[in-house]
Chain A
Amino acid sequence: MRRALAVVCCALAGCGVETPPPPGGDPERGRLLLRQFGCGTCHRIPGVAAARGVVGPPLDGVARRVYLAGTLPNTPDNMARWIRDPQGVDPRTAMPDMQVGEAHARDMVAYLVTLR
């Protein structure tokens, strides 16, 4: 209900394009999963405990990022695909396949798209 209100207020205020989280994703669970899967070892992620890695790019503002992995247009579907199968996107990437399941990836994306 609160989100619906926020969306309405946003629309009334005319504050631009919002990327909606993909259906089914739970941002709060995603935040915890990002910690459980050790994403913060390589990435700096606001709101995720101890996520101060400097191997890959920082993820603050990742919702506004235009490309993922330097090649993929940043859509929720592409973000989930990149998280689940990085080598399928870029065979030489340093990002490891962490065996993230479909539902978990959706939750992670739901959190990451709030980082504007």
Chain B
Amino acid sequence: MIRLIAALVGTAAAVGAAGVVLYAGWYDISATEPHLAPTYWALDTGMRRSVQRRAAAIVAPPLEDGRLVARGLVYFQQHCVQCHGAPGVAPEPFALGLMPAPASLAHTAREWQPAELFWVIKYGIKMTGMPAWGFRLSDDDSWAVVAFLRILPTLSPRDYRALQVPALEREEESVLEKPDPRRGETAIHQYACATCHRIPGVVGANAPVGPPLDGFATRTMLAGRLPNDRDTLVRWLRDPQALKPGSAMPDLGVTERDARDIAAYLLRP
């Protein structure tokens, strides 16, 4: 009993001390100061275990098809090589300053299961700089990247340079799904809406760049000049510059489906 009390008191003291260190500003948040070894171990292990657990139920499709690998190469060169580099190719300067540094994928692809790679591509990893691609790439496209990653460790720098990058035709998206407000809430994070708007119910959304969106469902005007109905809101989210040239609201490349889901979230009663 005394041991239990001692353990509880010890834990509370540790949590309190951590809180004091954070609140006083003593923790060095800079990207030039590496993690302490125990911190790194805890974060790295926690990250790997989390990915393993969440990817356990994912079944990889056949990944040997040459066309799938070729498509994966296109996305790899568009979206991955800038931070991760490639055989004989350095990451871009901005990526070299990241902490943690983005992994060399030739190594990662040898160590991680295809389902785990797929999961990381689709959902990203908090606090590492690895973004979620689930709102940018379809599941098929993410599997194509995995298919390419699987052959990456077998390529010499010369092999990699010699690869022919095929031209891809973009498939038209079809909008058949019913608007889903919960997916819309995720999309609000994924399109970084929170960096400019205060949005009740969305954690971290308190920036005052644009107007706050609380009570948005009852707001009658949009962008100061448009009726705030579902279809107009979807058009506004997809192409603000067309509806209000010169607006500070940028075109974020929101897809029709994502815009409908975001509208469903913002206009929910």
The majority secondary structure among interface residues of chain A is: loop
Interface range on chain B (Cβ under 8 Å from partner): 20 to 34
Does the CB pair A61–B209 fall under 8 Å? Answer: no
Does the CB pair A56–B249 fall under 8 Å? Answer: no
Asked if A7 is at the interface of the complex by the 8 Å CB criterion, the answer is no
Contact of A58 (CB < 8 Å), options: B196, B215, B244, B248: B215
Asked if B78 is at the interface of the complex by the 8 Å CB criterion, the answer is no
User: A89 to B142, alpha carbons, bound, how many Å?
Assistant: 45
Least Cβ distance of A72 to chain B in Å? Answer: 9
Asked if B221 is at the interface of the complex by the 8 Å CB criterion, the answer is yes
User: A93 to B186, alpha carbons, bound, how many Å?
Assistant: 31
- CB-defined contacts of B214 to chain A, threshold 8 Å: 58
Asked if A50 is at the interface of the complex by the 8 Å CB criterion, the answer is no
- CB-defined contacts of A67 to chain B, threshold 8 Å: 209-210, 248
A62 nearest in chain B by CB position:
B208
Asked if B211 is at the interface of the complex by the 8 Å CB criterion, the answer is yes
Asked if B218 is at the interface of the complex by the 8 Å CB criterion, the answer is yes
Contact of B225 (CB < 8 Å), options: A57, A64, A66, A94: A94
Does the CB pair B249–A57 fall under 8 Å? Answer: no
A64-B224 contact in complex given A71-B246, A71-B248, C-beta closer than 8 Å: no
Asked if A70 is at the interface of the complex by the 8 Å CB criterion, the answer is yes
User: A90 to B221, alpha carbons, bound, how many Å?
Assistant: 15
A64 nearest in chain B by CB position:
B208
A95 nearest in chain B by CB position:
B224
Least Cβ distance of A41 to chain B in Å? Answer: 11
- CB-defined contacts of B196 to chain A, threshold 8 Å: 66
- CB-defined contacts of B219 to chain A, threshold 8 Å: 54-55, 57
A70-B247 contact in complex given A56-B224, A95-B224, C-beta closer than 8 Å: yes
A54-B224 contact in complex given A70-B247, A71-B246, C-beta closer than 8 Å: no
Least Cβ distance of A21 to chain B in Å? Answer: 18
Q: Which residues of A contact B (CB under 8 A)?
A: 44, 54-58, 60-61, 64-67, 69-71, 90, 92-95
Some 26 contacts from A to B, beta carbons below 8 A apart, are A44-B215, A54-B219, A54-B220, A56-B221, A56-B224, A57-B212, A58-B211, A58-B214, A61-B198, A61-B212, A66-B208, A66-B248, A67-B209, A67-B210, A70-B223, A70-B244, A70-B247, A70-B248, A70-B249, A71-B246, A71-B247, A90-B224, A90-B225, A93-B224, A93-B225, A94-B224
